[in-house]
């Protein structure tokens, strides 16, 4: 089955289709049309990924999660509050479970931070402060525990802080084409795991 240009199927609800190749993902990133406050959507992703590359240069999965974290805004524009979920669904098959989880958690991470650190609310832009209320507002005690038990909450918080700082007009960062090698490396590792090669039982000891 070929992917629809919108990456959605169905009539009653949105169903996000997975990206099947790095070329396809990059083409969609190139075509992002939205605005993230003071910068366009692509520039926002590039700035976020670059900040994470500087902070965690060996963690390619975290970096590419930052690059693609907001693609859900474009995939399902009528459901902005769940854009992290839609983005995760779209990239999970190609980029793996950890990247998908980090992408999905970047919204709950904002809710977590406004709950545990009141000072964080003062750092949010006016728009971000408004949208976090639409996305659920402060977490309950159960939400806090569930977030902390995800296994990647610390990295999700790092991504969230990079997200908040990736809205600088005129910032000079590497272009999208510079991300191809990182995307292909992550995708190749996921493909090897998906195909079961090399299996643990056949690795040399």
Domain range for 51? 33-183
CATH number at residue 131: 1.10.3210.10
Element (H, E) at 16: strand 15-16
Main-chain dihedrals φ then ψ at residue 150, nearest 5 degrees: -70, -20
**Does a structural domain hold residue 189?**
no
Residue 203 lies in a domain: no
Q: pLDDT (tens digit, 9 = 90+) per residue, 72-122? A: 988 888 877 788 899 999 999 999 999 999 999 999 999 999 999 988 988
3-class secondary structure, 9: strand
> Would you say residue 73 lies in a domain?
yes
Does a structural domain hold residue 39? yes
Instruction: Check pLDDT > 70 for residue 57.
Output: yes
């Amino acid at each position: 089955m070929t992917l629809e240009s919108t990456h959605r199927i169905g009539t009653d609800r949105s169903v996000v289709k997975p990206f099947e190749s790095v070329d396809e993902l990059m083409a969609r990133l190139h075509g992002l049309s939205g605005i993230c406050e003071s910068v366009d959507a692509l520039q926002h992703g590039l700035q976020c990924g670059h900040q994470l590359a500087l902070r965690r240069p060996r963690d390619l999965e975290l970096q590419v999660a930052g690059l693609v974290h907001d693609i859900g805004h474009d995939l399902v524009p009528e459901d902005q509050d769940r854009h992290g979920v839609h983005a995760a669904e779209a990239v999970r098959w190609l980029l793996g479970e950890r990247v998908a989880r980090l992408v999905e958690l970047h919204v709950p991470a904002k809710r977590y931070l406004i709950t545990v650190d009141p000072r964080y609310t003062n750092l949010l832009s006016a728009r971000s402060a408004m949208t976090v209320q639409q996305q659920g507002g402060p977490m309950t005690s159960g939400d806090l525990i569930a977030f902390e038990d995800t296994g990647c909450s610390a990295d999700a918080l790092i991504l969230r802080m990079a997200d908040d700082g990736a809205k600088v007009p005129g910032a000079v960062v590497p272009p999208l084409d510079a991300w191809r090698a990182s995307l292909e490396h992550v995708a190749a590792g996921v493909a090897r795991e998906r195909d079961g090669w090399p299996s643990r039982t056949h690795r040399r000891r």
